[in-house]
Amino acid sequence: MIKYGIIGAGMMGQEHIRNITLLEGAEVSAIFDPDPGMRAAAARLAPRAAVAESLDDLLQRPGIDCLVVASPNYLHVAQLRQIAATRPLPLLMEKPLYTDPADAGLIDAMTRDYPAPVWVAMEYRYMPPIARLISEAESMTGGIKMLSIREHRFPFLPKVGDWNRFNRFSGGTMVEKCCHFFDLMRLILKAEPVRVMASAGQAVNHLDERYGGETPDIWDSGYVIVDFDSGARAMLELCMFAEGSRYQEELSAVGPVGKIECFVPGPRRFWTGQGPAPVPQLVISPRATKAPQTFDLPVDPALLEAGDHNGASFYQHQRFCEVVRGRAAPEVTLRDGAQAVAMGLAAQESALTGQAVTL
């Protein structure tokens, strides 16, 4: 039995708890969150779990095999330091790894020195249609030359303390939200970024909100183009005032012999169209005269109910448990997480300055 300690029991922490309860051979053993409402909600999901009074209290509890960090972004580095110094257990670390460029060196040091496995939580890799695209893209395209990722979705949701309304706490949209997509670019293209160009900003969302007399500065839209050392190019299109879109994520990879696409619906509670919510799809279009093939990839309804990521959190935890049992290595490393943040920071710099950023 793998016993989890949960650090941060807000929206994402609760998604982790719901998915852990669906796993065979795993359970939530202890929970820490400083907010009383989040603690109570998490305790209802895992009634047998102990509720810790502090992070140190959780780290001192016996019988914990691994940790999940799902706290607000700006707390990640300090909590990672405390875990490393106190009890460096196998760790599932929510993205982004860090928000301040000055902390990049610490992550490099952790990559060398942390004595247990660390898996950075990049759930988008494990959404079934995206996972299928990743596995088949190379063969279906003959070598990807162009990759496009589009996310049209709902605005940032309310969070405790409204931390996600401000760049200084979240790291900025290109880090907080888009590190997922920069991770996918590196994974799908099997290449490293060399130049980032972006145009982005705050167009619609949160402009009429005030917190402590301050207007949110978090961005809600943008385009990012990335050149890779393989010669391939990738583009991200983000719009966070497009709730109700039929598909939330659309990925397209094109090469000399064909194109492969996938279409991922958003959380069902945001589907406002008529009739049933759309089904995830994969479309393969050979360059020759063959007709495109479309594959429906439905997700177990129980997994859809457990979270907002099309079952990806469940599949990620299945693999992470194998790492905790010593049967596998992390699939998303500290370096992967750090590179995704570096790309996001470069995109923000490019959008602010109007200049391309070389990595």
What pLDDT does 270 receive?
80
284 forms bridges with which residues in the sheet?
260, 293
Token pair belonging to 34: 């400083």
Q: Which of 278, 178, 41, 329 lies closest to 8 in space, CA to CA?
A: 41
The residue length of the chain stands at: 359
Give, to the nearest 10 degrees, the angle between helix 179-189 and helix 128-141. Answer: 30
Lowest mean pLDDT among 5-14, 154-163, 181-190, 268-277: 268-277
Q: Over the chain, what is the mean pLDDT?
A: 96
Going from N- to C-terminal start, the domains of the chain cover: 2-123, 125-303+332-358
Decide if pLDDT at 94 tops 90.
yes
Decide if pLDDT at 75 tops 80.
yes
pLDDT band at 180 (very low <50, low <70, confident <90, very high): very high
The torsion region of residue 92 among left (phi > 0), alpha (psi -120 to 50) and beta comes to beta
Whether the CB-CB separation of 71 and 168 falls below 8 Å is answered with no
> Which whole number is the average pLDDT over 11-16?
97
Instruction: Fold for 125-303+332-358, please state it.
Output: Dihydrodipicolinate Reductase; domain 2 (3.30.360)
Contacts of 171 (CB under 8 A, 6+ apart): 73, 74, 96, 98, 99, 100, 341, 344, 345
Alpha-helix residue ranges (DSSP H) falling in 196-306: 301-306
Decide if pLDDT at 277 tops 90.
no
Q: Coil, strand, or helix at residue 350?
A: helix
228 forms bridges with which residues in the sheet?
193
CATH superfamily placement of domain 2-123: NAD(P)-binding Rossmann-like Domain (3.40.50.720)
> Which whole number is the average pLDDT over 170-182?
98
Q: Which of 225, 127, 208, 179 lies closest to 339 in space, CA to CA?
A: 179
Q: What angle do CA 128, 134, 139 make, to 5 degrees?
A: 130
What pLDDT does 250 receive?
98
Each residue's pLDDT tens digit, 242-265: 988 999 999 999 999 999 999 999
Same CATH fold assignment for domains 2-123 and 125-303+332-358: no
Each residue's pLDDT tens digit, 14-45: 999 999 999 999 999 999 999 999 999 999 99
